[in-house]
Structure 1
Amino acid sequence: MIAFPASARVWIANGVTDMRCGMNSLALKVQEGLGRDPHGGEIFCFRGRRGDLVKLLWHDGVGMSLYVKRLEAGKFIWPASQGGGAVPISEAQLGYLLDGIDWRNPRWTQRPAKAG
């Protein structure tokens, strides 16, 4: 996993996001849709409609980074849509989320059957 600073807050954007969006479009969604500062050092997570792709947007003080992860099987566990806001989670919960584990109740949701 990417080593984010311990002081970074993590936000999960409710609902689904168009995964064709790049970092500028996602930063605009953070600013206008979530009402947060995309350059404030916080981590913002977005999920696509199918649920197997997630994008993380993070500004480290030097530049903006966009991370993408796709699950081979299963779906990322996401909060129910409640008005287009964001849900704060801890860095440990982000680790569970990126591993495909239910971050609300940590346990494996899907294990790969083969390597290739």
Structure 2
Amino acid sequence: MIPADIEVFVALDPVSLHKSFDTLAGEVQERVGRSPRTGGLFIFFNRRRTALKAIFADGTGLCIFYKRLDRGRFQLPEPIDEGRVVELSEDQLDVLLDGIELPPPRARAKRNTTPSVH
């Protein structure tokens, strides 16, 4: 149902998932600056990140996809810049929808920059 080559946008700020077609379309317009009818999959999370709604156009109308995790939270992608919307690849979308929690990045070991004395 969701086209494989669709652009995917994730809103990083939470939204009330009580919103439906018209109000989610308004959120897309406000946050991304375009209508969901122009193409793209737009994903919104609740405040606790235990559920998401995605809105997209399939050519005949708007569709909404809703997912709630049984346990855990959706892992938000890291923003590349100061924007509050992130674009995802198809692989990143699959990981996100599977609810896989990625391990936090490990801190790199500090290099000893002090010259050694022999």
Asked if these proteins are the same fold (TM beyond 0.5), I'd say: yes
Q: CA RMSD in A?
A: 2.3
Displacement of 1:19 in angstroms is 1.2
Letter matched to residue 41 of structure 2: I
The equivalent of 2:55 in structure 1 is: 57
The equivalent of 1:72 in structure 2 is: 70
Whole-Å separation in 1 of the counterparts to 2:78 and 2:90: 20
Displacement of 1:103 in angstroms is 6.8
Q: Gaps (5+ residues) in structure 2?
A: 105-118
Q: Gaps (5+ residues) in structure 1?
A: 106-116
Letter matched to residue 16 of structure 1: P
Runs of 4+ in 1 over 3 A off after TM superposition: 79-84, 102-105
Q: Deviations over 1:93-116 (max 9, x none)?
A: 1111011114798xxxxxxxxxxx
Displacement of 1:91 in angstroms is 1.6
Whole-Å separation in 2 of the counterparts to 1:79 and 1:56: 16
User: Secondary structure of 1:65's match?
Assistant: strand
Instruction: Spell out the pairing of 1:15-30 with structure 2 (5 A cutoff).
Output: 15-30=13-28
The equivalent of 2:86 in structure 1 is: 87
% identical aligned pairs: 37
Whole-Å separation in 1 of the counterparts to 2:102 and 2:57: 23
The equivalent of 1:101 in structure 2 is: 100
Whole-Å separation in 2 of the counterparts to 1:54 and 1:65: 14
Displacement of 1:89 in angstroms is 0.3
Task: Provide closer, same or farther for how the CA distance between residues 78 and 96 of structure 1 changes in structure 2, counting only shifts above 3 A.
Answer: same
Which structure would you say has the larger Rg? Answer: 2
Scaled by the length of structure 2, the TM-score of the pair is: 0.76
Scaled by the length of structure 1, the TM-score of the pair is: 0.78
Whole-Å separation in 2 of the counterparts to 1:47 and 1:8: 19
Task: Provide closer, same or farther for how the CA distance between residues 103 and 29 of structure 1 changes in structure 2, counting only shifts above 3 A.
Answer: farther
User: Secondary structure of 1:39's match?
Assistant: helix
